Amino acid sequence: MLTLECPYCGVKAEETELQAGGEAHLKRYGPGSTDEEFDSYMFSRKNPKGVHFERWRHAYGCGKWFLAARCTATLEVFGTYSAQTKEPPADMQAKIKAKRPNWEGYK
Amino acid sequence: MSKAVSALGGVSHKGFVEVSEAGLQGMITVRGDLASAKMKKAVKAATGTAVPEARRIVIAGDKAAAWMSPDELLIMVPYTEALATVAALEEALAGEHHIVADVSDARAMFRIKGAKASQALLKLCPVDFETLAEGEIRRTRAAQVAAALWKSAEDEFSLVSFRSAAGYVFGALEVSARTGSEPFPA
Amino acid sequence: MSTRLQKGGRLIDRSKALSFTFNGKPMKGFAGDTLASAMLGADQMMVGRSFKYHRPRGVVASGAEEPNALVGLGEGGRFEPNQRTTTTELFEGAVTASQNHWPSLEFDVGALNDKFYRFLPAGFYYKTFMFPRFAWKHVFEPIIRQSAGLGKVPQSRDEDRYEYAYAFADLVIVGGGIAGLAAALAAGKQGKRVWLVEQTANWGGRAVVDGVQIEGADADSWVKETVQALEKMENVTLRTRTMASGLYDHGYLLAYERIADHTPGDGRPRHRLWRMRAGHVVTATGAIERPLSFAGNDIPGVMLASAVRDYVVNWAVSPGDRTVIVTNNDDAYRTALALLDAGLVVPAVIDARPEAKGELPQAVRARGVRVLEGHGIAKVKGGKRVTGVATCIQAGEGAELEQIACDAVAMSGGWSPVVHLWSHCGGKLNWDDNLAMFRPDPKRPATGEDGAAMVTAVGSANGILSAQDVLADAHQAVGGKGTAPGAVSEAEEPLMPVWIMPQGAGPALRFKMWLDPQNDVKVSDVQLAAREGYESVEHTKRYTTLGMATDQGKISNINGLAILSDSLNRAIPETGTTTFRPPYTPISMGAIAGEARGEIFQPLRKTPMHEWHETHGAHWEPVGLWRRPYCFLRSGEGVHDAVNREIRQVRNSVGLLDASTLGKILVKGPEAGKFLDMLYTNMMSTLPVGKCRYGLMCNENGFLSDDGVVVRLTEDTWLCHTTTGGADRIHGWMEDWLQCEWWDWKVYTANVTEQYAQVAIAGPNARKLLDKLGGMDLSKEALPFMEWREGTLGGFRARVHRISFSGELSFEVAVPASEGRAFWDALIAAGEEFGVMPYGTEAMHIMRAEKGFIMIGDETDGTVIPQDLNLQWAISKKKEDYLGKRAQERSFMASPDRWKLVGLETLDGAVIPDGAYAVAEGYNANGQRNMQGRVTSTYHSPTLNKGIAMGLVKHGPDRMGEVIDFPVDNGKVVKARIVDPVFYDKDGEKQNV
């Protein structure tokens, strides 16, 4: 049962206080998008063994959604960050790259 | 106001600590820009306190302001003053993007009294009470429901839950506080 | 015979005698005894029978690894089967009973299985009960069920209570032997927040029994002093009777504290499950001695050498006057010395090694004991207890050389570190050829959230066996300052791995060599599995049931996999171990449930009027965590009659519905209208202040997710009503979009569901009733349909909505929840002249179905789009976007072949069974009838006095008047006509008055 630090309130919450929200940094495609674009938004999900970016909500806490970077194989947490961003912060990406030289990037 | 009753009518139980429902408590949710001058003024007027820092609760007599999230406060005043405080907050925040909602009737408030108060709570809440700072409000869960708690006096914790779950929360507190079941008896 | 010695026993208090019974027979023990030591002290060598062959079983071990000595303990609400006597502390009045036998322990019919053991090998059931097929269900399974299962299931409700507790520490040290104590002392001095947990009631572990000297004194004194020193440290928490059961992600450790097992009924919780979060975990869990595989090694009286030593030293119990020791290592000689010191006889030490010249063997020889080097046991003599052993040459095939009379055998096949916690979360092991053991590989530990090692194994758990090295390892592992405590113990020569005794044993002997004595798995079974192609240790485990008993193979797994490796001609590390899974030893179901039982099994949400309902005949229906009245039963009334009465009352006069559970979410801000236009399929930004609008919400897949009435409170504030089950979900949904997608939109939400008690007052007399309360003008002109007003109603602060889910003149009134009960009472009093009565959810459902209103969860199931329900009128054509719009543009969503909502009326007025499907012509590829529709809601309408239903039917709206078939049970077919789903008051005249 993992623990994540909420970047909004600083509480290091355990999993029972959190709600998982699946893959982070999805791009929403609405009316006018192609079937392929909509499919990528609605159905296509990454399932990496290794570095992954996820959405979590501090549900039994400040109620804020935040994003977390962690390794799905070892559960190492690289960090948590604001949900109001389109991609992982540069320093987070650099930190992960340093720890996982073979990581191919978040896209 | 005599028509108004709290969820459990002030029930209490004495075990190795005393747990009780604290009765009606005025509570107001305020969301907005916590750093704004208007907000500071509004909170000061409502409670006599400053806008609390992250995860802090500032208490002034029978009033308090608690930080709930980066854009949300919980203002506590006596139940009978809640309506007037809502109106005052609305007026003070007019012109600025905000929400003020009276939630006095949506909540139940409990007190856990005794030197070992935290020992009853640590059976229900995944919280490190040894490192819980003075003046810190912790939003968490109590067994299976959402709760917020803080040290409200020497040897006393206060805990807020949703009104509908009051019976459940009191039941869980009562069981946790039963005589002889303190995890650290010595 | 086993007996209590006159002197000694470091754990027992001879001044406190305790009485207990075993199978009804009164016995005596002392405070400090375990059930096992007390039974052995009372000469009760045989304590049960094995699972498969019902062979006699006695105590083998002295701790958690015990496979055999399980009993049913307690009576009534405190009865629990499968209690390990070796880890159960004796208490006054304990009632114990043996298991797995019929009719008695001494004479057992099932033991006949034992006579046919040749015919009951591994996989016997799989192979035998294949054919004929029907026989499995009707013959074999009932017979096997009769004899299956270990112990009896408790029949009464558990009288005890249980709880969780959360704890946080920098360092949790597991195991209170000298390694754990030394680690705690070193870490405690550094000021770390330390927990030290020990599964037994006593500190010190093995060293105190083995005669180790620490810091110039005997280990006992050092342990006492160290515990005292630790107790004085405020940053150190000590717990005995606390077993670390499992280690999980990010240092999450479950520890099982047995608070009141030894003081049953004293009012304290029986068990406490500590849910700990450890910065780091040190496993000082020691090692477990392995048995040796020789013929008859399962006969009561054959015990682990360390256990024999424990019983003599700790509890002054002798397992027999004459104990033969059989070993492949030096450590077992300590048992000989302990027995000799207690004045008992050791006829011989049988050592499989060609030579035994170490310090310990020499000391034993010096006491006049015969040491047979290069020897083994060919066979143990005896049935229900040991009477002697026959010796042989270890290198040979088992030809008997000599018979030695004895009443106990102490065996030692070496030691296996307890690596369970190390392994639970991914720590890896190495095979150590010299010590013949799997040891933690410090280079491949379980890692934590920071990617660094989360666990360190120390002492014997790390494969270190000598006391001085154990202390140094533990001290150093926690970064201890200065030097570790020094210890002195006898030097030991290397062991010799022995997996079969004698090594050339033929089939007749291998059939009698037990690996897992509880599940009756023998050397021959594992060899058979290997011959039949089971190469994976995991598969072999499941095929033979090796290590699947309640002890999870603590003493049998390593021997078993060594046999498997040997049979497959490969090295032991190639075979590897089975997976170590929590819990380390079984924990009670009560501890897992914690406080969640009875009234607080789960949260039960109550509205402010809950108590009134409770005292007025509420027949409850669970709706999420709420309980809502399904109907209100009057004395002598059935549910169906009550529902019909409530409906007639609403249709003819006036009824009250507690609608407090409906979700209520405030949405406010300059961009709130724009936000709601995205959330709802229809336009909410254009709703005028003072009005209400019914709205639909879809998920991004286009499917209908929730519905409710939206109220425009002010220019920038809306109040969104959701379904009862949808309140938290929809609030979370709104916050998700506002926080993660449209974070620059100026919108705030607040979930005020519980702030208000809400009551629907419905029926032709609804207005008259509210007018009696007075204070607000609720006339048709002042408050038209689908509008709302705020005011004071009968002295209550009220928001009155003119909305209707029943089709009648109806008002929904929200008042502060704290005043909800008083408001309800006022309505009941004021409504007396109209015969007012509450109605429940079933009456509500039927009335909405009579009006053709859809219900989320009935007409929707997560695959239904609003268009399927003919709700196009609630989907804005003007909006470029709303959640779900893109999905609804997919070709199959726009297909004319989708099943659509219609009304269904049976030809004979009967009610179509819920969930019935309508069949079409022809068959599909699987030979099933083709389908053309299904029922979504179906009721008897008391208003229309006939069955009515709603359903989704292919091309339904184009087929009005057509009759379709619904096959139901017993080959019957219900015929129903497709009709308009609005059955009652099609023009809405009743609600518009």
Tell me: the pLDDT tens digits for C512-558?
Answer: 999 999 888 999 999 999 999 999 999 999 999 999 888 999 999 99
Q: Which two tokens stand for residue C985?
A: 């008051």
- Residue C367 is predicted with a pLDDT of 98
- Residue C144 is predicted with a pLDDT of 64
pLDDT (average), residues C899-928: 95
Instruction: Examine the pLDDT at C142 and tell me if it is beyond 80.
Output: no
Q: Which one is predicted more confidently, C773 or C139?
A: C773
CA triplet C277, C279, C281: central angle to 5 degrees?
90
- The helix (run of H) or strand (run of E) holding residue A39 is helix A35-42
Q: Comparing C-alpha atoms, which of C94, C117, C108 is closest to residue C25? A: C94
Taking phi first (over 0 means left), then psi (-120 to 50 degrees means alpha), and beta for anything else, what does residue A104 get?
alpha
- Residue C106 is predicted with a pLDDT of 74
Taking phi first (over 0 means left), then psi (-120 to 50 degrees means alpha), and beta for anything else, what does residue B11 get?
beta
- Residue C405 is predicted with a pLDDT of 98
Cα dihedral: A21, A24, A30, A34 (round 10): -120
Percent of chain C with pLDDT over 90: 91
- The helix (run of H) or strand (run of E) holding residue A20 is strand A19-23
Confidence of residue B13 (pLDDT cuts 50, 70, 90): very high
pLDDT tens column, C246-282? 999 999 999 999 999 999 999 999 999 999 999 999 9
Closest CB to A3 among C277, C451, C887 = C277
Q: Comparing C-alpha atoms, which of C394, C414, C400 is closest to residue C503? A: C394
Q: C593 touching B, CB under 8 A?
A: no
Instruction: Examine the pLDDT at C126 and tell me if it is beyond 70.
Output: no
Hey, which chains touch C, using 3+ CB pairs under 8 Å?
A, B
pTM of the model: 0.95
Percent of chain C with pLDDT over 70: 96
Nearest-CA distance B96 → chain A (Å): 22
- Mean pLDDT, chain C, rounded, equals 95
- Residue C366 is predicted with a pLDDT of 98
Contact flag B139-A8 (C-beta cutoff 8 Å): no
Instruction: Examine the pLDDT at C147 and tell me if it is beyond 90.
Output: no
- Residue A62 is predicted with a pLDDT of 97
Give dist(CA C429, CA C702) in Å, integer. 51
pLDDT (average), residues C295-313: 97
Give dist(CA C875, CA C886) in Å, integer. 13
pLDDT (average), residues C947-963: 97
Cα dihedral: C102, C107, C109, C112 (round 10): 140
**Alpha helices per DSSP H over C680-813:** 727-740, 766-773
Residue C433 neighbours by CB distance under 10 Å: 11
DSSP C240: S
Contact flag C277-A59 (C-beta cutoff 8 Å): no
pLDDT tens column, C52-63? 788 899 999 999
Closest CB to A14 among B54, B126, B139 = B126
- Residue B1 is predicted with a pLDDT of 42
Q: Comparing C-alpha atoms, which of C516, C337, C471, C327 is closest to residue C413? A: C327
The SS3 of residue C886 is helix
- Residue C122 is predicted with a pLDDT of 73
- Residue C151 is predicted with a pLDDT of 84
- Residue B123 is predicted with a pLDDT of 98
Nearest-CA distance C164 → chain B (Å): 5
B–C interface: beta-carbon pairs under 8 A = 131
pLDDT (average), residues C881-885: 97
Beta strands in chain B (DSSP E): 12-14, 18-21, 26-31, 57-60, 63-69, 72-77, 99-102, 107-113, 137-142, 145-153, 156-162
Q: Return the half-sphere exposure (C-beta side, CA atoms, 13 A cut-off) of residue B160.
A: 24
Instruction: Examine the pLDDT at C111 and tell me if it is beyond 60.
Output: yes
Instruction: Examine the pLDDT at C115 and tell me if it is beyond 90.
Output: no
Residues of C in contact with A75 (CB under 8 A): 249-250, 447-449
pLDDT tens column, B131-177? 999 999 999 999 999 999 999 999 999 999 999 999 999 999 999 99
pLDDT tens column, C31-40? 999 999 999 9
- Residue C143 is predicted with a pLDDT of 65
Q: Which two tokens stand for residue C987?
A: 């023009």
pLDDT tens column, A62-87? 999 999 999 999 999 999 999 999 99
- Residue C131 is predicted with a pLDDT of 64
- Residue C110 is predicted with a pLDDT of 65
Instruction: Examine the pLDDT at A19 and tell me if it is beyond 80.
Output: yes
Residues of B in contact with A17 (CB under 8 A): 126, 140-141
**Residue linked to tokens 């999993």:** A15
Confidence of residue C107 (pLDDT cuts 50, 70, 90): confident
pLDDT tens column, C169-180? 999 999 999 999
pLDDT (average), residues C87-108: 86
Nearest-CA distance B1 → chain A (Å): 32
ipTM: 0.98
Closest CB to A75 among C249, C739, C890 = C249
CB-based contact B183:B122 (threshold 8 Å): yes
Q: Comparing C-alpha atoms, which of B38, B54, B55 is closest to residue B46? A: B38
The β-bridge partners of C429 are: C440
Give dist(CA C318, CA C328) in Å, integer. 23
Instruction: Examine the pLDDT at A88 and tell me if it is beyond 80.
Output: yes
Nearest-CA distance C629 → chain A (Å): 29
